[in-house]
Chain A
Amino acid sequence: QVQLQQSGPGLVKPSQTLSLTCAISGDSVSSNSAAWNWIRQSPSRGLEWLGRTYYRSKWYNDYAVSVKSRITINPDTSKNQFSLQLNSVTPEDTAVYYCAREPRIAAALLIWGQGTLVTVSS
């Protein structure tokens, strides 16, 4: 049974970098049959897909246009986890952040992390 466990700070100062980690159990971040996504949700922006990383003989990333200049999603094979870094944050980046597993066969977000409320404030 695949589970995702998120960790990271709940408060980030404006202009700094938001960093979250999603630890995977029951699957491998290097799996050829899954992709690993980050999504966020706020009252003003609703559900917003941020990006994903996946391995298909080599590593690939896809990022949302809205955050492409500020986002990095990295796999960590040694710890079987993946991370989100969002640079130069503003209060607009305040949201609940989720990681999620996307099985290739479903092309949908089947397993979700528990969510992390990140507040951007000084």
Chain B
Amino acid sequence: QSVLTQPPSASGTPGQRVTISCSGSSSNIGSNTVNWYQQLPGTAPKLLIYRNNQRPSGVPDRFSGSKSGTSASLAISGLQSEDEADYYCAAWDDSLNGGVFGGGTKLTVL
């Protein structure tokens, strides 16, 4: 059971906009920033969004992040087939004094 809660799956058609939610609590998302990772099959996770809404160099602006209270969201606009992957949210948890991840969302591009 992951500390952060994500829907197990999401889907969309090419060109569509999809959002993935991440729910936490006051000790993690409520008091710290949220990061998002993309994982393609057989590869290490890749940082997609850091500090709630910042994109590392090289990440397309089709990817955006937001946070409100104890929840966060990842939005992908102009969906492409190459976006089919697993997506994970993460944050620091002050009560656990450690990092925590969501269970992951498998995105399917129909």
Contacts and interface: CB of A to CB of B under 8 A. Distances in A.
Interface residues of B, number: 24
Given A47-B104, A107-B51, A108-B50, A114 B88 contact: no
Interface in A21-42: 37, 39
Q: Chain B interface secondary structure, helix, strand, loop or mixed?
A: strand
B23 to A, nearest CB: 15
Nearest to B95: A65
Interface size class of A (residues with CB under 8 A): 20 to 34
Given A51-B98, A115-B44, 9 more contacts: A37-B99, A49-B98, A62-B97, A106-B47, A106-B51, A107-B32, A110-B47, A112-B45, A113-B44
Interface of B: 2, 32-33, 35, 37, 44-47, 50-51, 54, 56, 88, 90, 92, 96-101, 103-104
Interface of A: 37, 39, 46-49, 51-52, 62-65, 98, 106-110, 112-115
